Amino acid sequence: MEVGAPTGRPRRPTKADLQASYDLAIPDTVGPGLRVLFCGINPSLWSGWSGHHFARPGNRFWPALHRSGFTPRQLDPSESDALLALGLGNTNLVNRATARADELTPDELLAGGERLVRTVRQWRPEWLAVVGVTAYRAAFGRKDARIGPQPEDPLFAPTQVWVLPNPSGLNAHYDLPALAAEFRRLKDAAER
């Protein structure tokens, strides 16, 4: 993210910056020894612009991650590499920035599922946490999937799969405390 000279605070993207971010990909934050690999649906335009996961103001991923106890303090999206030292990582189902996840096609979600399987097989995290039950259902044909732990899946074995609510500010079904509680359930399971 570019830093403004007078305040040292990140500048906000212009409308043109965001439009230019359509279809950009951002790098995964992955490595060996992951306890949990968090998988977003796809980058927002803000994430595409900044190059960081869950970067849009109003996205509750970073606050929920901290409030659940996964991180000792609330990290800024630009600090995502710090996750690796905590045994955590980030990837996306579809690595193409859009304004809204509903801009993705069913074929993109299926292809994203195949990409995610390859990523999990390469890095072998203990847990895969997919943030967004609707996208999980579409990518893997799991029409009855619910928030929480999923049945053992040979696609990912021995990695265990957990589905979390989408942390986007557009998800009105979960406020921040409820979202953090769901993240905490995963944290507790990952520590057993």
On the 0-12 / 13-18 / 19+ scale of CB atoms within 10 A, 108 is middle
Residue 168: per-residue pLDDT: 87
Residue 10: per-residue pLDDT: 58
Q: Give me the DSSP letters along 10-68.
A: BPPPPHHHHHHTTT-----B--TT-SEEEEES--BHHHHHHT-TT-STT--HHHHHHHT
Residue 170: per-residue pLDDT: 77
- Provide the b/e sequence for 1-20 (b: ≥16 CB within 10 Å): beeeeeeeeeeebeeebbee
Q: Could you report the per-residue pLDDT of 52-111, keeping only the tens digit for each?
A: 999 999 999 999 999 999 999 999 999 999 999 999 999 999 999 999 999 999 999 999
Angstrom CA distances, 47 to 16, 80, 115, stand at 14, 12, 19
Token output for 159: 């990695």
Token output for 53: 């996961």
170 vs 5 pLDDT, higher one? 170
Angstrom CA distances, 93 to 28, 35, 69, 175, stand at 11, 18, 24, 23
Question: Does the pLDDT of residue 5 top 70, yes or no?
Answer: no
Q: Could you report the per-residue pLDDT of 140-176, keeping only the tens digit for each?
A: 999 999 999 999 999 999 999 999 999 987 787 899 9
Q: Per-residue confidence at 8, pLDDT binned at 50, 70, 90?
A: very low
- Provide the b/e sequence for 44-68 (b: ≥16 CB within 10 Å): bbbbbbbbbbbbbeebbbbbbbbbb
pTM of this prediction?
0.93
Q: Could you report the per-residue pLDDT of 112-148, keeping only the tens digit for each?
A: 999 999 999 999 999 999 999 999 999 999 999 999 9
